[in-house]
């Protein structure tokens, strides 16, 4: 630790626990005013809203004392998640906290809570936490050991300056993450519009029924394809308009009945296994050192994975760039764990958990298709229906998934869609790569700032160039 001296957490703050649900009570995916924060809801030190579950008013009333407050610093206290730290922003004030986490709260004015957060995420802070873990196997971090954690006793004004410096990097990382989420939402919405709801076809049908001219029918389809109004179409370049016109022309003007309900004329129904290969053969010799992806590093939101390490091949799933990894086991499937493989070098083969189902589009179909389908609610609900096994350890069945009836999308239309989805995946990867660099810079700066090796002013000047 630095020359500033140290102070124990219990000397400058309180440590309080979360709370498990009372017996007979359960969480609800339906939105209520009472969110319940689980460790699975945490990504990069922040609470994510995408897969939150909620409490009933009755349940909330029974555990209302076990909440978090704005500026609390929370720590995971059980198993492999020990070392996970997250910070409570204003919008999560007064929300209930899982029993698998504790919080540092009511922090003395001599400490910036955000500084405590950054310190505990640093290598030095993580070592402090690890040294206080007790028990074998899963392990636990008792509240009394959190209270004994030592923090560098740095003057508040210097803490604030360090926080300002590190927050500038965190803000850029968050901005990139938000951009990625927005891009994926757009790609998913367009997929649903084109291939599930068939909105361009319905737009043509509605226009024809209104006795529209061929040009008006075309414009209606172009609006449905792009999600833009007639007025907004008028603001697009000639090149973009021509692309929309070409795409709109790929949709028929009629819906017909099928085993799955109404679908566009001349489109056909087939087994999903004729569109997507499930667990295609990949070759990697046992004992060979190769990139390894653990389940804990598969994202719940987005496609970018966490840490990938080199490890001797043992028993596990094998994959290539362009494959999609679908977590098949409870609760990972329900929580949304899914990844798109874009982190390998060339034709390198990676491997990971036995609990992945590998998906790869067949033929000339774009690789983005499997990822987009794997993220669709309709697919995931059907995947859950294929699950078998004992309670708490159920697994989706790849064979059953391959036998699902599915619409066989026209190749030319898939190519048009891939210009959107494939572009999103590339942009998201670029943002993810940038975030890794920014996070590395941030993590490198903190110990240097604590030791006095670098001044805050020097860092801020450098960051103005980097960011």
Nearby residues of 55 by Cβ (< 8 Å), 6 or more positions away: 21, 25, 27, 28, 32, 34, 35, 36, 63, 96
Average pLDDT, stretch 385-414?
A: 93
Q: What is the mean pLDDT of the chain?
A: 92
Q: Which domain holds residue 43?
A: 6-154
pLDDT at 115 over 60: yes
Instruction: Tell me, yes or no, whether 141 and 279 share the same domain.
Output: no
Select from 408, 427, 462 the last residue of a domain. Answer: 408
CA-CA distance, 40 to 27, in Å (whole number)? 14
Q: With the C-alpha atoms ordered 40, 46, 50, 52, is the resulting torsion angle positive or negative?
A: positive
Mean pLDDT of 301-307: 91
Q: Per the domain annotation, does 381 fall within a domain?
A: yes
Q: How far is CA 454 from CA 114, 183, 347, in A?
A: 20, 37, 42
Between CA 342 and CA 302 the distance in angstroms is 13
d(CA 202, CA 195): 12
Instruction: State pTM to two decimals.
Output: 0.85
* In the predicted structure, residue 290 carries a pLDDT above the cut 80: yes
Burial group, residue 349, by CB count within 10 angstroms (0-12, 13-18, 19+): middle
pLDDT at 138 (0 to 100): 76
pLDDT tier, 1 (very low <50, low <70, confident <90, very high otherwise) = very low
Query: Quick check: is 348 in a domain?
Result: yes
Q: How big is the chain by its Cα radius of gyration, in Å?
A: 25
Place of tokens 């764990």: 337
Per-residue model confidence (pLDDT) at position 6: 92
Q: Is the pLDDT of residue 329 over 70?
A: yes
Residue 124 lies in a domain: yes
* CA–CA distance, 396 with 390 (Å, rounded to integer): 12
Note whether residue 194 is domain-resident: no
- Reduce the secondary structure of the chain to three states and give it as a string: CCCCCEEEHHHHCEEEECCCCCCCCCCECCCCCCEEECHHHEECCEECCCCCEECCHHHHHHCCCCEECCCCEEEECEHHHCCCEEECCHHHCCEEECCCEEEEECCCCCCCHHHHHHHHHCHHHHHHHHCCCECCCCCECCHHHHHCCEEECCCHHHHHHHHHHHHHHHHHHHHHHHHHHHHHHHHHHHHHHHHHCCHHHHHHHHHHHCCCCHHHHHHHHHHHHHCCCHHHHCCCCHHHHHHHHHHHCCCCCCEEEECCEEEECCCEEEEHHHCEEECCCCCCCCCCEEEEECHHHCCCCCCCCCCCEEEECCCCEEECCCCEEEECECCHHHHCCEEECCCCCCCCCEEECCCEEEEEECCCCCCHHHHHHHHCHHHHHHHHHCCECCCCCCECCHHHHHCCEEEECCHHHHHHHHHHHHHHHHHHHHHHHHHHHHHHHHHHHHHHHHHCCCCHHHHHHHHHHHC
Domain stops at, among 354, 378, 408: 408
Is residue 465 one of the residues assigned to a domain?
A: no
CATH number at residue 377: 3.90.220.20
CA 173/CA 450 separation, integer angstroms: 22
Q: Among residues 380, 408, 436, which one ends one of the domains? A: 408
For residues 410, 416, 417, 419, the Cα torsion angle rounded to the nearest 10 degrees is 150
Report if residue 216 sits inside a domain. no
Tens of pLDDT, residue by residue over 330-359, are 989 988 999 999 999 999 999 999 999 999
Bridge partners, residue 15, by sequence: 104
Contact present, 134 and 140 (Cβ < 8 Å): yes
Instruction: Tell me the backbone φ, ψ of residue 76, rounded to 5 degrees.
Output: -70, 140
- 346 contacts 381 by C-beta, under 8 angstroms: no
Residue among 193, 191, 83 nearest 146 (CA): 83
Instruction: Inform me whether the pLDDT recorded for 21 exceeds 50.
Output: yes
What are the distances in angstroms from CA 209 to CA 201, 204, 213, 223, 266? 12, 9, 11, 17, 21
Distance of CA 191 to the CA centre of its chain: 19
Number of domains in the chain: 2
Mean pLDDT on 167-178: 92
Residue 159 lies in a domain: no
Helices 368-375, 156-191: crossing angle, 10 deg rounding:
100
Of 17-26, 80-89, 288-297, 441-450, least confident by mean pLDDT is 441-450
Q: What is the pLDDT of residue 466?
A: 58
Q: Say if 267 falls within a structural domain.
A: no
């Amino acid at each position: 630790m630095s020359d500033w001296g140290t102070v124990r957490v219990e000397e400058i703050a309180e440590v309080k626990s979360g709370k498990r649900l009372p017996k007979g009570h359960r969480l609800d995916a339906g939105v209520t005013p009472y969110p319940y924060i689980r460790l699975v809801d945490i990504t990069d030190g922040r609470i994510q809203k995408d897969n939150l579950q909620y409490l009933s008013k009755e349940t909330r009333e029974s555990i209302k004392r076990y909440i978090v407050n704005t500026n609390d610093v929370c720590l995971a206290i059980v198993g492999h998640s020990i070392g996970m730290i997250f910070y409570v922003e204003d919008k999560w004030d007064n929300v209930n906290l899982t029993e698998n986490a504790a919080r540092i709260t009511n922090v003395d004015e001599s400490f910036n809570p955000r500084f405590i957060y950054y310190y505990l995420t640093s290598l030095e802070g993580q070592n402090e936490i690890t040294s206080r873990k007790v028990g074998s196997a899963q392990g636990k971090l008792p509240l009394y050991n959190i209270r004994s954690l030592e923090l560098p006793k740095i003057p508040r004004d210097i803490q604030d300056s360090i926080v300002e410096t590190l927050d500038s990097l965190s803000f850029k990382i968050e901005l990139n993450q938000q951009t990625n989420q927005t891009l994926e939402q757009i790609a998913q919405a367009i997929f649903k519009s084109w291939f599930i709801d068939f909105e361009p076809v319905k737009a043509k049908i509605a226009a024809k029924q209104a006795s529209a001219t061929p040009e008006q029918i075309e414009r209606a389809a172009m609006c449905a394809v792009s999600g833009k109004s007639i007025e907004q179409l008028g603001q697009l370049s000639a090149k973009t308009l021509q692309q929309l016109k070409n795409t709109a022309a790929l949709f028929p003007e009629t819906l017909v009945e099928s085993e799955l309900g109404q679908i566009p004329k001349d489109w056909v129904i087939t087994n999903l296994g004729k569109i997507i290969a499930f667990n295609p053969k990949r070759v990697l010799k046992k004992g060979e050192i190769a990139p390894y992806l653990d389940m804990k590093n598969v994202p719940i939101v987005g496609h970018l994975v966490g840490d990938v390490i080199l490890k001797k091949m043992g028993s596990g799933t094998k994959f290539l760039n362009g494959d999609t990894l679908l977590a098949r086991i409870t609760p990972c499937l329900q929580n949304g764990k899914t990844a798109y493989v874009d982190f390998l070098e060339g034709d390198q083969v990676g491997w990971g958990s036995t609990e992945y189902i590998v998906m790869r589009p067949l033929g000339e179909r774009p690789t983005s298709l499997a990822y987009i389908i794997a993220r669709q609610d309709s697919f995931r609900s059907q995947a859950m229906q294929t699950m078998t096994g004992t309670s708490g350890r159920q697994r989706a069945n790849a064979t059953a998934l391959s036998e699902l009836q599915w619409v066989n999308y026209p190749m030319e239309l898939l190519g048009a869609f891939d210009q959107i989805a494939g572009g999103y995946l590339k942009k998201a990867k670029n943002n993810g790569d940038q975030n890794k660099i920014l996070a590395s810079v941030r993590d490198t700066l903190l110990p240097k700032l604590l030791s006095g090796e670098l001044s805050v002013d020097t860092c801020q000047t450098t960051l103005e160039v980097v960011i």
